[in-house]
């Protein structure tokens, strides 16, 4: 199973903390992580194996959206910062729309992400 992880700058530490808390579930279920570039670099430093794509503003959100459309990505965990403006908002909305179109679970905060991963216990 492939899970995409993305976090805006103000949420990257929260993503790393979340993944550390869910480490057993991720390893036990052999979940493959893919990520936008900067989030992936932070996650790698925390000891996770992740396939990194471009940074979000440089097209990474669009690359992950393509994986959703192709049926390669089974879940997206995207810790968004709703209080900040982001220059790549069209890509973010495209990713969210494609998750809806292709019926791919999308969590935009730790509470929802935890509920989704609980199904693997």
Residue 105: inside a domain: yes
Residue 121: inside a domain: no
Query: Which residue range(s) make up the domain with 103?
Result: 2-116
pLDDT digits (tens, 9 = 90+) for 24-70: 999 898 899 999 999 999 999 999 999 999 998 899 999 999 999 99
- The reply to whether 81 belongs to the active site is no
Which residues, in sequence order, are CB contacts of 103 under 8 Å at separation 6+? none
Give the per-residue pLDDT at 24.
Answer: 93
Domain count, the chain: 1
pTM: 0.94
The CATH number given to whatever domain includes residue 104 is 3.40.50.1380
Please state, rounded to an integer, the average pLDDT across all residues of the chain: 94
Query: Looking at 24, 61, 91, 100, which residue is catalytic?
Result: 61
d(CA 119, CA 113) in angstroms, rounded, equals 11
């Amino acid at each position: 199973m492939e899970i995409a992880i993305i976090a805006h700058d103000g949420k990257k530490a929260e993503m790393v903390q979340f993944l550390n808390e869910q480490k057993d579930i991720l390893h036990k279920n052999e979940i493959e992580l893919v990520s936008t570039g900067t989030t992936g670099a932070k996650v790698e430093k925390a000891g996770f194996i992740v396939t990194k794509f471009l940074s979000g503003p440089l097209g990474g959100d669009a690359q992950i959206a393509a994986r959703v459309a192709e049926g390669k990505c089974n879940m997206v965990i995207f810790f968004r910062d709703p209080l900040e403006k982001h220059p790549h908002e069209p890509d973010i909305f495209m990713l969210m729309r494609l998750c809806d179109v292709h019926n791919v679970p999308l969590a935009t905060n730790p509470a929802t992400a935890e509920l989704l991963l609980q199904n693997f216990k």
